[in-house]
Structure 1
Amino acid sequence: MSTYADRLAALREELAQRRLDGFVVPLTDEHMSEYVGAYAQRLAWLTGFQGSAGSAVVLPQEAAIFVDGRYTLQVREQVSGDHWSYQSVPQTSIADWLGAHAASGARIGYDPWLHTKAWVEAATKALKEKGAELVAVEANPIDAVWDDRPEPSTARLVVQPDALAGRSSAEKRAQIADWLTGHKADAAILSALDSIAWTFNVRGTDVDHTPVALAYSVINADGTADLFVAPGKIDEAVAQHLGNAVRVHPRDAFAGHLASLAGQRVAADPERAVAAIFGALGKAGATVLELRDPAVLPKAIKNDAEIAGTRAAHLRGAGAGDLRVVLDRLGQHCR
């Protein structure tokens, strides 16, 4: 499909085949990341928009793209006004727009792995007032029409040495276990990629601009953990680093694993865990505690090793900047 108009038409045809009257397209991934891998760039593929934040809604006869004030000019340069209306956030929310534009009886699809629980609740309410319905899809319809969609990165994880991290992964997991005990919880879901990188002292190259790897984790109250990551991304060095207290599973086994938490008290962050996680835990019969990701605050409190690393990074960055100035001046002199 060489044009964005063709892509929009193909999506509408796919939605019609699924008996859907619309679909919501956010710019995020299954981890609610701001920056996402190429495989998750659905909004850019569909519309041409290259910003780091935005969403779109496609209905049978109209389509809208939602961006904040940072992208007011950019969205008009990159996305055709012939096919899309421009909506400003937060002045207009997707839920409110759907409530005003969706037809009575309409079935509006969404991918539960790409939205928060709060968003689903707000959109469901807005559509219900219009006599319409929000429908979770099992497979994203954009993926069905995106013929050359890239595969998720297969790059291997790398170990962040304890000397640079300042604390071992075992210490960090023990701290989270203590936090769980304090909340009388059995396990915590970690789905934010930076939290997983920090907790396990690992890094990756799966997402531009952030040194993280695509993974999920369940931290247990006994300090053990289940890490869900593509098997080919773990080499011997990483396996030894993780140790026997971390059980490694394929990344696509995560959803099924949630069912094994039946009867347990499980903490999940409503801002960082997608609606599908809450749905799976509820279906399994787990008691869900809506609490902030337990890695967020400890990660923000930098130890001496991390502070030293930050200073070193600033010095390297400053040196690189000075070198660019010298090279620019040399280039001007040579001209």
Structure 2
Amino acid sequence: MNTNKEMSVGVSGWDKIFPPSDKVEHKKVSFKNRYGITLVGDLYTPKNWNGQKLAALAVCGGFGAVKEQASGFYAQTMAERGFVTLAFDPSYTGESSGEPRHVASPDINTEDFSAAVDCLGLQSFVDREKIGIIGICGWGGFALNATAIDTRIKAVATMVMYDMSRVFSQGYFDSNTPEIRREMKRSLNAVRWTDAETGTPTPGYPMPDTPSDEVPQFLNDYIEFYKTPRGFHERSVSNHVWTATTLLSFMNFPLLAYANEIDVPTLMVAGENAHSRYMSEDAYKSVETDKKELLIVPNARHTDFYDNQAGAIPFDKLESFFKENLQ
């Protein structure tokens, strides 16, 4: 059964952080994942193609972002280069359904990528044997996990990848001690009692509205993107807050445990000066396909890859990688 349809939900006009391209067609679509959650995405197609079935890409990320931000920018740009592309809002966020709002799950979010593959493969103008995915930031980890289980994905690229299970369980740069981890579990499960008693999820800690000298530089970089006109979008979770117990879903989930089973072409891109670089480097070692490449972009920070700040995003490389491997 084809569950895709054009949508009239949400904002009907252009409300993205990047300008529309006159080289592509754009429409809103919806589709369901296997949990029955309705996902909403933006489908981009090249204008004036010659009618043959095209290669396609599903795009998502970063963690807490919506399709009107980085993923949509990537999707539109790759559609300009000849691909059918789908940028989508994950379950429980943006225009997608799911209650309560602002919840993340390593399992469900991995499934979201496979559901996007479903959606693309049901389009009459898409070649099902030529579908790849791009995961940005936290969605890089989900992209690798999806590729490890979904054999329909023929190539995968990650951009400044996060392993969210590693970050939430071990802290940035693996700085959490066993005592810190035990205290996190105790405090988060105390929050569960509150949630059970009230019937309402407790919100986590919001991102600060302004940079300061009291937080790491990478957090100031996030603030500069998500909290200013550069990248602000009202539906982004980064401008609301995740539920506090979202962390529990990730703290004992081995997101990249089967990365060694990835046997399709894999491109991993990181910034030389990105705080997340170590996660790409370590994940790259875990992927055992001989068709893999780790590209370190000189001088680039993590958030430079959200909107091509200083020309950091290697779109030419992405184009050649997918054209070569989605044949």
Q: Could you say whether these structures have the same fold, taking a TM-score greater than 0.5 normalized by the shorter chain as the test?
A: no
The TM-score with structure 2 as length reference comes to 0.29
Structure in which a larger fraction of residues adopt helix = 1
Larger Rg: 1
